[in-house]
Structure formats: C-alpha cells, structure tokens
Amino acid sequence: MRSLGASVVKIEPPAGDPLEGANPAWYEHLATGQEVVRLDLKDATDRARLDDYLANADVLLTSSRPSALRRLGLGPEKLYQAYPRLCVVAIVGYPTPRVDEPGHDLTYLAEGGLLSPPEMPRTLLADLAGAERAVSATLALLLSRERGRGAGYVEVALSEAAASFAEPWRFGITRPGEHLGGGFPGYSLYEAKSGWVAVAALEPHFWERLLGELGLESTTSKEDLAEVLRRETAEEWERWAAERDLPIAALRDAPAQSTTTKET
C-alpha cells in the first residue's frame, strides 16, 4: 500500500519483528518508508497509543489470529463500534471457520501440492500472493466506504491464495509432460553450451518465428530443439532472442542482497 501512496504505520511487538533477526536486509527493504512503532498491547499506555493511531486511520491490516485480537479488544465488532470509518483487513492462515488454526507458507504449499521434496521452495508464494490479495481487498473496502456503504471487514486466507496458485497443477496443465510441463517444445527449459535457457514461445506466432529463425520445421521435436540450443551459451541465446523479439531468457540466480549493517 505504501507504493500506492499510503502512509503506513507498522506496529510491532516489544521484541520486534522476527524477520529483522532472520534477514535484516529484507526487513529493512520492506520497512522502508514506514513508521515502525513497537507496542505492548497488553499495556494500558501502549494500548492507548494504538487507539490514537486507529482514530485517524483508514485501514487496519492485521496478521494475528482473530482469537488473539478479540482478547485484546480488537475484534471487528468492537473496532466498528469505536471507529465506524475504519476498514479492517485480516490476513489469516485459513478461512472461517478455521481462522485460528496454525500454519505457515510451507504448510500451505504442502497442502496445495506445490512442493518437490527434499528441495525447499525458492520463494514464499502464499505470503506474497496473500499480500497482493490484501491490497485488492483494502482497495475494495475503501471504494465501498467512499460510495456510502460504510466500513467493512474482510479476511484474506493465505491457504486460499496458495490453492489458487496451485490450480494449473491441479488441472494438470503444468504436470510433467503436459502442455506447460515440458510437453510442448516451445515452452520448456533447455541446457545450453553453458547454462540453461527458458524458452517461452507459447503463442503460435512466437513458435513459428522461432522455428523460422533457427531454420527448423513445424514438426520439430523437443529433442531437435535441444540439439540446436546446445550449440551456444545461455547468455548468447538470450541476446539472440532479444534481437528477434523472442521470449527466451537465461536462467540465473537472484542477486544476493548484502546483509552488512551500517555503523552509526
């Protein structure tokens, strides 16, 4: 929301956000531009400070279990009574009635069939997908409020976000050998002379142009294309494709972010 122009106040517990200890660089990146405040919500003084923030806020975005929030007097019913213009978006693990069940990105991906053990996932898919859904939910609540329908409350379940991302696998199109699972030669991974390339000539005009540029026939198999792509390095194929407006990219690891902290 900050990137859309919102002023954001991030409330952390007294011990801070665990991410700060696990990965200071990413924490700093995410917190940039936000006002970070540490409060003990069981303390009367700190709770009063939170109330001051809520009195002037348009949206409260939470990521705690609803039962814990209700114990703190922050359930949606009490919030609406105290702050009738406050829109509330609750990021939860599972949808009602399972909102208080524990879970994390790894378990949501496991349930969605999106893991290939023993490899760990390269990204936090459910968390990031849930964040995008939370933005959409926030904008929808604000639009509804501005149209005179009052403030609202919505839950964004990370497990549902993961399940929606698992649909290509569930319906079979990305399974091994299927159309987007390596079955179509124009959409697959290939080993080059050095490195690997991702070929995504999925639409007919891209596929036909790729074949034409390489001097291949329409009956070209995956093995035929693999033989050609082994002749040059991945970086050379990427440059070659860019010159011809073809969707081919060299595989690379994301650049590591420095975790060095600045001395003050």
Task: Give residue 187's pLDDT.
Answer: 98
Q: Report whether the peptide linkage leading into residue 118 is cis, meaning its omega lies within 30 degrees of zero.
A: yes
Between CA 238 and CA 229 the distance in angstroms is: 11
pLDDT at position 263 is 37
Residue 247, pLDDT above cutoff 70: yes
Q: Which domains does the chain show, CATH number per domain? A: 39-169 (3.40.50.10540), 179-250 (3.30.1540.10)
Give the total residue count for the chain: 264
Confidence of residue 114 (pLDDT cuts 50, 70, 90): very high
Is residue 264 very low, low, confident or very high in pLDDT (cuts 50, 70, 90)?
very low
**pLDDT tens digits along 56-81:** 999 999 999 999 999 999 999 999 99
- What pLDDT is stored for residue 255 in this prediction? 55
- Among 26, 25, 30, which Cα is nearest to 1's? 30
pLDDT exceeds cutoff 70 at 20? yes
pLDDT value at residue 145? 96
Letter string b/e over residues 192-225, b meaning 16 or more CB atoms within 10 A of that residue's CB: beeeebebbbeeeebbeebbeeeeeeeebeeeeb
% residues pLDDT > 70 (the chain):
96
pLDDT digits (tens, 9 = 90+) for 177-188: 999 999 999 999
The pTM assigned to this predicted structure is: 0.87
Res 11 pLDDT > 70: yes
Judge whether residue 262 has pLDDT over 90.
Answer: no
pLDDT digits (tens, 9 = 90+) for 133-161: 999 999 999 999 999 999 999 999 999 99
Chain-centre distance of CA 135, in angstroms?
11
